[in-house]
Structure 1
Amino acid sequence: MFNNIPPITRNIIIINAVVFVVANFIFKDQLIESLAGFYPFSPYFKSWQVITHMFMHGSIMHILFNMLTLFSFGPILENALGEKRYLILYFLSGLGAFALFNLWNFVEVQQITSSLNELGFNTNAYLAGAQVNFSGSSEAILKQQELVENLKNIVATPMVGASGAIFGVVAAFATLYPDAKIAMMFIPVPMKVKYLMPILIVISVYLGVSGNVGGIAHLAHVGGALVGFILAWSWRKHLYRFN
């Protein structure tokens, strides 16, 4: 059965599985620090992470859910779009996910930085790795410590997973096949994907902006879905040319 999966989808699943085993059981700490996607202005960021983070996963359930979703939607799109456009869709969706997620991070970092600077804390020196001491009243010090902890969570917490790219695949599927019905774990009745996808996007935007992330990069899902929708919308009128 696995051999019947189109080559791009099959190879993406294989690479993700291999990287998961290597990163989580053989070279865990080294690869996570090197290949996960850190905030671009973080001292931990490396340029290749914009791609490699798509192949990193934090748990067995994380990778299983992502690969099962890709297995469900990927082959249909790969056959419809062709290998080249499908590959473009997948990786541009992943890049869009990384971009939107970190654009929101940038907004939050600017707000934190502004507040810290008003309290006399040298944020630039701190981000450069210098030892910076808190100063001022006890109340000001407590506020600085809280803000620095929030800043640390952004610059030192990596983004991992293929979810953004896969949301792009699902959004493209919804754009090309809007009347297809699918069922999900938390929705017992099959629903047309053209109705389900907007619901998922609204929920992701709310959770991402409100801060109720639960360890999930919800805005990355939105970024991937937007790219997938835009690409599929631009291609669908000429879909017959791809086959």
Structure 2
Amino acid sequence: MFQTARANGQNWDANVTGMRFSAAFALCICSLTIWGAAPGAAQELVPTPYNVLAEELDARITFEQVPRRPEPGWQFDAPIRDGRAWLGERFAGQSIVTIHGRQGARFDGVTGQPSAPLGLSAGEPGRNLSVAFHRGLDSNALFALGPDGFNAISGRGEGAVAVLFDDDQYAFGLVIHTAYPDPLGHDTARRGVVELRFYDRSARLLGRYLHHPERGRSTLGLVRAEHRRDIAGVLILNTDPGGIAIDDILYAHPIPLG
């Protein structure tokens, strides 16, 4: 059962097989960490081509079970359930703060250590998550809602998002879309940074990775050193002008016993 969603002042109830929505995308953007080096990233998180992981991992979050609707799309004030994963704003025990970017842009940041065992928390109404059809990706995509909220174009894509898996993972991949290509070169603004933080089930930080996306579509794949299956959750945050859209999150189903 799809939980009640509110978008553009309308309530929407629908039965959608295999997808439920619930709270907790947790992101941490602090100026000292988002722009600094990512301690342990080189040893603990190994960059791997997304297309390689797409062949290797057997589960994917596509958001296509939501009816297609252009931006602002559908607003979800509770967490999202898809397959064997939950998506929300942050992890339980953490708090949201506002990060001020260039030209007045505002983004979600996260402070505090997650509580153990790792769990999710939803954002305030209008500040959690939304799903909309994205022209650049030609598919539905996730927009984490930032400080300006669902009703403002400056609020869609600037938010924090957390993914909590039922089963420990050894790899993670996703598609990211930033601003549309500018063939005439009129927009010379520097792109921002996407930060991913990986936690185990006891809420211990396994490592962080900083991604500097190009304009338009980009992909990212990361594998744990020695293929250790200990990733319970991932926090995603960004400081990219205009925010980001997220799609095609890759993970693995549990290994069958016997």
> More helix per residue: 1 or 2?
1
Q: Point out the structure with max Rg over C-alpha.
A: 1
TM-score when scaled to structure 2?
Answer: 0.21
> More strand per residue: 1 or 2?
2
TM-score when scaled to structure 1?
Answer: 0.22
